[in-house]
Amino acid sequence: MEKTKKNSILIVDDDESNILALTHILASDYDIMAAKDGQDAIEVAEEFLPDVVLLDVIMPEMDGYAVIGELKKSGKTKDIPVIFITGLSSADDEEKGLNLGAADYISKPFSPATVKLRVQNQIKIIDQTRLIIKKETAEKSSRERSEFLSRMSHEMRTPMNVITGMIALSRNTAQLSERDEMLEKMSNASEKLMKLIDDVLDMSDIEDGRLRLSFAEFHFGDMVREIISTAEPELNAKKQLLATEIDPSIPDAIVGDKRRLAQVILNLLSNANKFTPDQGSIKLKASACEVDNETLTLRIEVADNGIGISKEQLERIFIPFEQADGGIDRKFGGAGLGLAMSRHLVSIMGGEIWAESDPGKGSVFIFTVKTEVKQPEKMDDSRISLEGKIAMLVEDVEINREIVMAMLEYTGLEFICAENGREAVDLFSSDPGKYDVILMDINMPEMDGLEATRRIRALDVPEQAQVPIIAMTANVLASEVRTYLDAGMDAHIGKPIDYDKLVNTLFSYLT
């Protein structure tokens, strides 16, 4: 039979005979700790967290009043009941002790029976409080799990209804085009259902301590491109802009759990997509910090300009089975597992996750993870210098402009920015020999990149001023490449802009 753990008492008194006397009275019922001065008492209380402190008042250097003040200031010891046991017996002394937070007051000389009863009363209060907290915690957990199961039932029924409904409709149509559309809807619903099941199983493994990481070498940039490809359908459905900013100093090859790292980033992107309006913007930023020849701490940020989260809700969003706002969750959908699971995954990858938000303006989710470095340098750019070269960067979206500017700064290339095609034409025509290359966005208001390129090529300028023009655009189709070339462009780079691709393209034209 398991032995019941005793409650513990810390006795604080500079007189050893008092410590011995109190120990004799209480040792049969409690585990006893002792301290002979105030500083020692604070350190013992912080380390061992006794259930009750019996505290003398008159002690050298730090008296009992000072000790209780320090105990009540500490988050670890503030709730430990303190019983003053002292020769000071006036009403003023007792009132002072109680005002400082003492739970009780015993005057010396004390009787063994009084000491026992006063301590027993405090232990009873502690035990009753713990039972109440345990009961409330259990009830809260039960409510949360019931709400979670209800939410899960709804989330599972939605794709299942799509699948069963499309099956029934497909049986009654002979049109192949309609059947193809129905099959596509069934496929999408099936993928959503499978992801939901995977999340539930992963969460179960996490809570049971069964989830293990799988370490392997991988290319961070390739992983980001795979993530973007996976997230694109949801983003395109809401016509949202995704900008990526990847720190060029992140090594080519790192060692970590690629699948779990990608899972966290996708969860955050999916969350941002859900709570960001149509045509909103989302930014994925990755940077290297605390990097050396062996280890690398990655910092990942996913920012959006969505509905935001209140300060009170921020404290709850990473708790399993608990949502920031039930009404919002019902409106936007979701089982509520993503953030809780992400927190656990980040933790076992040696990092932490948090969120910052301005309600009504957007949120940013930030996390760090530790990986091993396979190659300490991402790219030896010193072998070819772009210093002394000047580029014109033509981009109407500020966040995209800032990202490409950061990449260009890393290469040493100087640049001048234009915010639309018309401004680009004016800049080039005013000083055509100034630029070595033009990076031209395609989709811009007033004058798009194709028209701007045609006008630049039509200018009567010396042959040496006919610089390469590189298109920057998302979703490049083979048929569109011919259009870019016909307009006078020399190459194209897909968005989100990849640093390696940008640098390699610039090197090929400028060296």
Q: For 206-261, how does the pLDDT look when each residue is reduced to its tens digit (9 = 90+)?
A: 666 777 888 889 988 888 888 888 888 888 888 888 888 888 888 878 899 998 99
The model's pLDDT over 294-305, given as tens digits with 9 standing for 90+, comes to 788 999 999 999
Strand order through the sheet with 82-86: 31-35, 8-12, 52-55, 82-86, 104-107
The reply to whether 87 and 147 lie within a common domain is no
**Beta-sheet pairing, 469-473 with 437-441:** parallel
The reply to whether 191 and 333 lie within a common domain is no
The reply to whether 33 and 158 lie within a common domain is no
The reply to whether 63 and 15 lie within a common domain is yes
Taking residues 102-114, what's their average pLDDT?
90
Pure H helices in 171-243: 176-208, 220-237
Cα–Cα distances in Å, from 122 out to 24, 95, 300?
A: 19, 19, 48
Taking residues 498-504, what's their average pLDDT?
83
The answer to whether position 346 is within a domain reads yes
CATH code for the domain of 148: 1.10.287.130
pLDDT at residue 222, as a whole number: 84
> Distance (Å, rounded) from C-alpha 116 to C-alpha 22?
9
The answer to whether position 134 is within a domain reads no
pLDDT at residue 332, as a whole number: 42
Neighbours of 28 (CB within 10 A): 8
Report whether 409 contacts 501 (CB < 8 A): no
DSSP string, 422-438: HHHHHHHHHSTTS-SEE
Of 10 and 233, which is predicted with more confidence? 10
Structural domain including 68 reads: 8-110
Q: Which of 276-285, 314-323, 384-393 has the highest mean pLDDT?
A: 276-285
Q: Which of 30-44, 238-252, 377-391, 475-489 has the highest mean pLDDT?
A: 30-44
What is the sign of the dihedral through the CA atoms of 389, 394, 396 and 397?
A: negative
pLDDT at residue 241, as a whole number: 86
| Beta-ladder partners of 354 | 366
CATH code for the domain of 67: 3.40.50.2300
Number of domains making up the chain: 4
CATH code for the domain of 247: 3.30.565.10
Tokens encoding 400: 């995209």
Q: What is the DSSP letter of 6?
A: P
The answer to whether position 464 is within a domain reads yes
pLDDT at residue 378, as a whole number: 47
> Distance (Å, rounded) from C-alpha 158 to C-alpha 160?
5
pLDDT at residue 136, as a whole number: 83
| Beta-ladder partners of 303 | 283, 364
Does residue 379 surpass a pLDDT of 60?
Answer: no
> Distance (Å, rounded) from C-alpha 94 to C-alpha 322?
45
| Domain edge (last residue) among 89, 110, 131 | 110
Residue carrying structure tokens 């995954």: 345
Of 88 and 356, which is predicted with more confidence? 356
Contact residues for 179 (Cβ-Cβ < 8 A; gap 6+): 170, 173
Name the helix (H) or strand (E) containing 106. Answer: strand 104-107
Taking residues 131-145, what's their average pLDDT?
78
The answer to whether position 127 is within a domain reads no
> Distance (Å, rounded) from C-alpha 7 to C-alpha 129?
14
Tokens encoding 214: 């799988």
Does residue 193 surpass a pLDDT of 80?
Answer: no
The reply to whether 318 and 414 lie within a common domain is no
Residue 503 banded pLDDT, cuts 50, 70, 90? confident
The reply to whether 228 and 357 lie within a common domain is yes
> Distance (Å, rounded) from C-alpha 409 to C-alpha 395?
16
| SS3 annotation, 54-83 | EECCCCCCCCHHHHHHHHHHCCCCCCCCEE
Residue 366 banded pLDDT, cuts 50, 70, 90? very high
| Domain edge (last residue) among 208, 229, 262 | 208
**Please, what is the end-to-end C-alpha distance for the chain in angstroms?**
81
pLDDT > 70: percent of the chain: 87
The answer to whether position 119 is within a domain reads no
Q: Please tell me the pTM assigned to this model.
A: 0.56
The answer to whether position 155 is within a domain reads yes
pLDDT at residue 244, as a whole number: 87
Q: What is the DSSP letter of 382?
A: G
Does residue 169 surpass a pLDDT of 60?
Answer: yes
pLDDT at residue 163, as a whole number: 77
Contact residues for 4 (Cβ-Cβ < 8 A; gap 6+): none
pLDDT at residue 324, as a whole number: 46
Does residue 54 surpass a pLDDT of 60?
Answer: yes
Report whether 131 contacts 113 (CB < 8 A): no
| Beta-ladder partners of 256 | 216
Of 511 and 455, which is predicted with more confidence? 455
pLDDT at residue 327, as a whole number: 47
Taking residues 14-34, what's their average pLDDT?
93
Average pLDDT, the chain: 84
Residue 497 banded pLDDT, cuts 50, 70, 90? confident
Q: At what angle do helices 64-73 and 91-99 cross, to 10 degrees?
A: 20
> Distance (Å, rounded) from C-alpha 278 to C-alpha 383?
44
Taking residues 274-301, what's their average pLDDT?
87
| Domain edge (last residue) among 65, 91, 110 | 110
> Distance (Å, rounded) from C-alpha 94 to C-alpha 283?
61
pLDDT at residue 333, as a whole number: 45
Does residue 453 surpass a pLDDT of 70?
Answer: yes
pLDDT at residue 147, as a whole number: 64
Count how many residues are written for the chain: 511
Name the helix (H) or strand (E) containing 243. Answer: strand 241-246
Residue spans of beta strands (DSSP E) within 453-511: 469-473, 491-494
The reply to whether 178 and 232 lie within a common domain is no
Does residue 173 surpass a pLDDT of 80?
Answer: no
Encode 426-459: b = buried (16+ Cβ within 10 Å), e = exposed.
ebbeeebeebbbbbbbbebeebbbbebbbbbeee
Does residue 430 surpass a pLDDT of 70?
Answer: yes
The answer to whether position 94 is within a domain reads yes
> Distance (Å, rounded) from C-alpha 50 to C-alpha 9?
6
Tokens encoding 296: 């690398």
Tokens encoding 100: 């400082």
Neighbours of 495 (CB within 10 A): 24
pLDDT at residue 20, as a whole number: 94
pLDDT at residue 375, as a whole number: 53
The reply to whether 259 and 321 lie within a common domain is yes
Taking residues 64-83, what's their average pLDDT?
93
Taking residues 98-116, what's their average pLDDT?
91
The model's pLDDT over 314-363, given as tens digits with 9 standing for 90+, comes to 877 887 555 544 444 444 444 457 788 888 899 999 999 999 998 888 99
Does residue 150 surpass a pLDDT of 70?
Answer: no
Residue 385 banded pLDDT, cuts 50, 70, 90? low
The reply to whether 204 and 222 lie within a common domain is no
Report whether 61 contacts 35 (CB < 8 A): no
The reply to whether 263 and 221 lie within a common domain is yes
The answer to whether position 130 is within a domain reads no
> Distance (Å, rounded) from C-alpha 148 to C-alpha 197?
14
Of 110 and 325, which is predicted with more confidence? 110
Report whether 98 contacts 105 (CB < 8 A): yes
The reply to whether 227 and 347 lie within a common domain is yes
| Beta-ladder partners of 416 | 392
Taking residues 173-187, what's their average pLDDT?
77
Residue 149 banded pLDDT, cuts 50, 70, 90? low
Residue 485 banded pLDDT, cuts 50, 70, 90? confident
376 preceded by a cis bond (ω within 30 of 0)? no
pLDDT at residue 151, as a whole number: 64
Name the helix (H) or strand (E) containing 297. Answer: strand 295-304
pLDDT at residue 381, as a whole number: 46
The reply to whether 23 and 70 lie within a common domain is yes
